[in-house]
Chains A and B, each alone.
Chain A
């Protein structure tokens, strides 16, 4: 059976890593020039989703676990950040911390339940748990139900930087997202990451080598949930809004699409996928429901025609690691 990932696009030797450095430089250059060419809010949204997709990719790309409920972490972190910034008046860095910590705790619970089953069941369980928390968000008082939490103050970062300035906010988002990106890269190239890949390739063998695979899977799940939460927290400060859209299953579907389109298990794929999907949603918005149709069609095309995703295909053509 062909696995979710083709090992040929995965990192092989250290000396082949030069392509990663080049790609990273190109990416950073794009982000630096970006706000002078494109709308900063659009870029910030895409950056948040890039981090979200990278966090998701950590799980599907490197452990082989497909979660269909990552909106749970994104959305609930967003609610808690919004609530603590608006109602408790906490400064942005603390509010983001609260949101991210919430996502981590939810990750422990949801991950603990979901890793009890494998493969397809894992996907269904994560989806069901996130739907449960969607209903909870719909009914709970503090989430504002259908209205969501609006008018969240961005505040002053560390009491110094005024985030209501669009450029300051952009730099802040960029720094956090890049830090998250590098952290994920560090994780997948650590000894811990190697064990994750071993679990993906052959869980039984990893068990027989003495690894407690359940624990590794749980830690990976919690890391992924936490980073997804960080992305959600940032996103709600960018838009000053936390709403039901963020916890709905369509959001989980979006992040799967971003990662699949960019390339599962590639370093840069989720970033590219996030920019493409967010860009598409942005520019095709006037066409209403056709966006849904097009997104679905991209899913089908990716699965049938290019399972490596855009970045994965490029990496294969150029015979480099990306």
Chain B
């Protein structure tokens, strides 16, 4: 045990780790929002609800079908992503020619419906979800105790974020996607099925949210309102980072998680609000956001 700035190292690194964990979720969720926004020009208000659905999917798969964490990590995002595809086909598709505010209103309504349904059936108390056996326990690093599961969440989230970045910025499919974001009409003229791409993009973004939900299930309890408060913080993260850049969304997410963790150590009263305060400061200094391009 040693001290840094009068704070025991255990507490400092413990909160830093918690910050990185929160940052992992901020990054995954704001990444999904940015991908969806790029293609559909919609802010997906239901993102928090879909994150919650991911966690519930993992919980229900285990309870009713005995399907464990590792399978859920793949199955739940696909299931919830499929509901996203349906939502895009049935509802969002009709908003394409409208002001983007309507997309916000519609997805807000969806979020209420989803949260209300889950509260109805599962109440508002949290349901526990076990850490998978292989990741139980932890290791003592000397300056702090590192639970294995938490380390895994950070690593997996980093991997998924960078895989997404790579897919969008460095592959052929990603280049179609970026082109369709810039000019969908022209890309369509080249014979690429843009509407299908839009649908799959929404499904993918929703799947990312659900993946974050599965990862969160063993850390936080599974509860119907786990998404709604988180998504508001993620909105602030998105305002700070700007949605123009995939890498920007990832970096901002992790960085703000860490800042939040540090605030818990040095000034705990402000830990809930620090991200919003940073948002206000960024708006004053750099209104377009740290990585934004206008608007």
Contacts and interface: CB of A to CB of B under 8 A. Distances in A.
A129 B280 contact: yes
A135 B109 contact: no
Interface in B99-113: 99-102, 104-106, 108-113
Interface residues of B, number: 46
A256 B104 CA distance: 11
B277 interface: yes
Contacts of B64: none
A125 interface: yes
Nearest to A123: B104
A299 B295 CA distance: 27
A27 B147 CA distance: 63
A113 B283 contact: yes
Interface string A276-303: 0000000000001111111111111011
B276 interface: yes
Interface of B: 37, 43, 91, 94-95, 97-102, 104-106, 108-117, 119-120, 228-229, 232-233, 235-236, 238-239, 269, 272-273, 276-277, 279-280, 283-284, 287-288, 295
17 contacts: A1-B99, A114-B283, A116-B283, A116-B287, A117-B239, A117-B288, A119-B101, A120-B104, A121-B239, A123-B43, A124-B239, A131-B236, A139-B272, A260-B105, A293-B116, A293-B117, A299-B109
A2 interface: yes
A274 interface: no
A118 interface: yes
B101 A135 contact: no
B232 A135 contact: no
Given A123-B43, A131-B232, A292-B116, A117 B102 contact: no
B112 A292 contact: yes
Contacts of A66: 101, 104
A117 B293 CA distance: 12
B109 A125 contact: no
Contacts of B239: 117, 121, 124-125, 128
A127 interface: yes
